[in-house]
Amino acid sequence: MAQAKTTKATGEQIAYANILNIGMFLGLAIIVVTFIIYMLGILSSFIPPQDIPKYWGMKSKDFIHSMGAPTGWAWLAMVGKGDYLNFIGIALLAGLTILCYLVILPILIRKKDTPYVVIAFIEIAVLTLAASGILKSGGH
């Protein structure tokens, strides 16, 4: 598929960049604010900050088993806890790419750019599978 000879970014590239820009700033702002809430103890934590050093030397699987810590999306049920509140911003940063692909998909479809529509579809499926929690290692 021949591309236009221009130094300007394509429409889908600009759309991707715009979503990335907004999401990245939002995600970073959220992790800073939620971390301050966590550190100041404004919300009670599943594991209080002062106790974390007792556990961070463990293998993650042992940590989960011994503490009964949530895996997959189970953290959502504990978002009222100071430590798991931090996962909102982290999940937003990790999920941003899926959102960007969802935004460019209609543009690629409109352009009838079939190979890239297929690539974008499969990528969304792959990232959604990774995010789903089905493929987690260890856990309960």
Partner 1 sequence: MSQRLSRFLFIAGVFLTLILVAGTVLASTEPSTVPEAVASGSKTPWWAWPIILLVFTFILGILAVLGGVGGGVLFVPLVGGFFPFHIDFVRGAGLIVALSGALAAGPGLLKRNLANLRLALPVALIASSAAIVGAMIGLALPAKLVNILLGATIIGIVIIMATAKKSDFPVVPKPDGLSQSLGIMGIYREESLGKDVEWNIHRTLPGLLLFIVIGVMAGMFGLGAGWANVPVLNILMGAPLKISVATSKFLLSITDTSAAWIYMNSGAVLPMIVVPSVIGIMLGSIVGVKILARTKPKAIKWLVIGLLLFAGLRALLKGLEIWK
Measured at the alpha carbon of residue 8, what is the angle toward residues 116 and 24, in degrees to the nearest 5? 70
Q: Give the tokens for residue 61.
A: 């699987």
Please answer whether residues 30 and 92 qualify as being in contact, where contact means their C-beta atoms are separated by less than 8 angstroms. Answer: yes
- Is residue 1 at the binding interface for partner 1, with CB under 8 A as the rule? yes
Q: Quick one: which of 63, 78, 103, 105 contacts partner 1 (CB under 8 A)?
A: 63
- To partner 1, the closest distance from the beta carbon of 87 in angstroms equals 7
Total binding residues toward partner 1, as defined by CB under 8 A: 80
Q: Taking the C-alpha atoms of 43, 45, 49 and 54 in order, what is their torsion angle to the nearest 10 degrees?
A: 170
- To partner 1, the closest distance from the beta carbon of 139 in angstroms equals 6
The smaller minimum CB distance to partner 1, of residues 42 and 126, is found at 126
- The amino acid sitting at 3 is Q
Q: Smallest Cα–Cα separation from 107: which of 41, 25, 17?
A: 17
Please answer whether residues 133 and 71 qualify as being in contact, where contact means their C-beta atoms are separated by less than 8 angstroms. Answer: yes
**x/- string (CB under 8 A) for partner 1, residues 10-49?**
x-xxx-xxx-xx-xx--xx--xx-xx--xx---------x
**x/- string (CB under 8 A) for partner 1, residues 73-112?**
x---------x--xx--xx-xxxxxx-----x--------
